């Protein structure tokens, strides 16, 4: 994919000390237990929708092509980012989202959503051609979520969980990490850099293991799309408060952090390019 300017593409998130991408292999399947973080993104749902990344069109096209029909369930639908892209491709999408603030923004943009955790959601006999989860499946119990996906998918139906993950240039990433360590040293894993591809591979592994456990899915596939995005300072600072624990920082600490990061971006020339990998795990429901 070509490098995109902020005017062409919504800004994207990056791994940080408090981001799910910082999970270690032993905890990748346990992130769903971190409910305080999982339910913090609705603090500023409008910013989340504005600042979080959309998904590569090639991924959206592949989901539509491999789904046996247009009926899609969007798990952890949030503000409807992936769901609306699928709607644009002709799908009929229903979201399931535990945070009413996020679901309300999604409805404003045309994505119907029911408020529930997928593990306890009642499908009321409804069946779907595809179940998707964009940047959300790590907040789902992988075994219980996979069982619910198997329950609501028609034979041959498609399951896809996907994640956007990017990393700034190494020197700038270390500068950002050092700023975090200095301003919020008590933040869990404060300022620790991670390998974003490895982190999301761990999440894909946990998702695939949950699907396998149900014995209701065929062999899982791994999809990956690499692309670049060029950030202005304003775009970078806009998305930062939507990440994990940053959503729960005290206002004065967040203000201090944003100011320091903004100065660092200015020192780097006012913009920089992040390399992104969009990772997905996919599987079809067995007949």
**pLDDT value of residue 41:** 53
Q: Which of 51-55, 117-121, 145-149, 242-246 has the lowest mean pLDDT?
A: 242-246
Among candidate residues 53, 55, 47, the one with its CA nearest the CA of residue 14 = 53
Tell me the average pLDDT across 263-274: 96
Residue range 13-70, pLDDT digits in tens? 333 333 444 444 345 555 444 444 445 555 678 888 898 889 999 999 999 999 999 9
What's the CA gap between 211 and 37, in Å, rounded?
A: 24
Radius of gyration of the chain (CA): 18
pLDDT tens-place string over residues 246-257:
777 889 999 999
**What is the SS3 assignment for 132-146?**
EEECCHHHCCHHHHH
Confidence of residue 11 (pLDDT cuts 50, 70, 90): very low
* Residues 173, 167: Cα–Cα separation, whole Å: 7
- Kindly report the CA angle at 180 between 3 and 238, in degrees rounded to 5? 45
- Paired residues of 162 in beta bridges: 134, 280
Of the chain, the percentage scoring pLDDT greater than 70 comes to: 82
Average pLDDT over every residue of 193-218 = 91
For residue 17, the model assigns a pLDDT of: 30
Q: Mean pLDDT in the chain?
A: 86
Q: Look at residue 28 in the predicted model and tell me its pLDDT.
A: 53
- Per-domain residue ranges for the chain? 20-284
Q: What CATH number labels 20-284? A: 3.40.50.150
Confidence of residue 158 (pLDDT cuts 50, 70, 90): very high
The answer for 206, left when phi > 0, alpha when psi is -120 to 50, beta otherwise, is: alpha
Question: Torsion angle of alpha carbons 209, 211, 217, 221, nearest 10°?
Answer: -60
Question: How high is the pLDDT of residue 187?
Answer: 76
CA angle 89, 93, 95 (to 5 degrees): 135
- How far CA 286 is from CA of 1, 62, 253, 271, in Å, comes to 33, 19, 50, 47
What is the per-residue DSSP string for the chain?
---B-TTTS-------TTSGGG--TTTGGGGGG-HHHHT-GGGGHHHHHHHS----HHHHHHHHHHSSSSEEEEET-TTTHHHHHHHHTT-EEEEE-S-HHHHHHHHHTT--EE-S-TTT---TT--EEEEEEES-GGGS-HHHHHHHHHHHEEEEEEEEEEEEEEE--HHHHHHHHHHHHHH-TTSTTTT----HHHHHHHHHHHHHHHHHHHT-B---EEEEEEEEEEEEHHHHHHHGGGSGGGGGS-HHHHHHHHHHHHHHHHHTTSEEEEEEEEEEEEEEB--
Q: Are 111 and 74 in contact (CB under 8 A)?
A: yes
More confident residue, 104 or 21: 104
Rounded Cα distance between 76 and 146, Å, is: 14
């Amino acid at each position: 994919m070509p490098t995109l300017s902020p005017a062409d593409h919504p800004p994207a998130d990056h791994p940080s000390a408090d981001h799910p991408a910082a999970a270690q292999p032993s905890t990748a399947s346990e992130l769903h237990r971190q409910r305080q973080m999982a339910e913090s993104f609705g603090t500023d749902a409008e910013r989340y929708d504005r600042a979080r990344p959309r998904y590569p069109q090639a991924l959206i096209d592949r989901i539509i092509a491999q789904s046996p029909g247009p009926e899609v369930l969007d798990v952890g639908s949030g503000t409807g980012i992936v769901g609306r892209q699928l709607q644009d491709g002709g799908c009929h999408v229903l979201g399931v989202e535990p945070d009413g603030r996020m679901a309300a923004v999604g409805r404003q943009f045309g994505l119907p959503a029911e408020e529930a955790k997928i593990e306890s959601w009642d499908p009321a006999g409804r069946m779907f051609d595809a179940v998707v989860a964009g940047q959300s499946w790590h907040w789902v119990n992988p075994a219980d979520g996979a069982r619910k996906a198997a329950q609501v998918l028609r034979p041959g139906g498609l399951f896809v969980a996907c994640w956007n993950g990017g990393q700034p240039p190494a020197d700038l990433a270390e500068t950002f990490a050092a700023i975090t360590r200095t301003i919020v040293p008590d933040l869990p894993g404060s300022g620790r850099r991670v390998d974003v591809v490895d982190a999301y591979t761990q999440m894909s592994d946990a998702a695939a293991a949950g699907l396998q456990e149900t014995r209701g899915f065929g062999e899982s596939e791994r999809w990956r799309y690499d692309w670049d995005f060029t950030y202005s300072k304003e775009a970078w600072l806009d998305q930062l408060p939507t990440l994990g624990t940053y959503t729960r920082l005290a206002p004065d600490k967040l203000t201090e952090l944003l100011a320091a990061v903004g100065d660092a971006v200015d020192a780097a020339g006012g913009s920089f390019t992040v390399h992104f990998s969009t990772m997905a795990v996919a599987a079809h429901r067995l007949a």
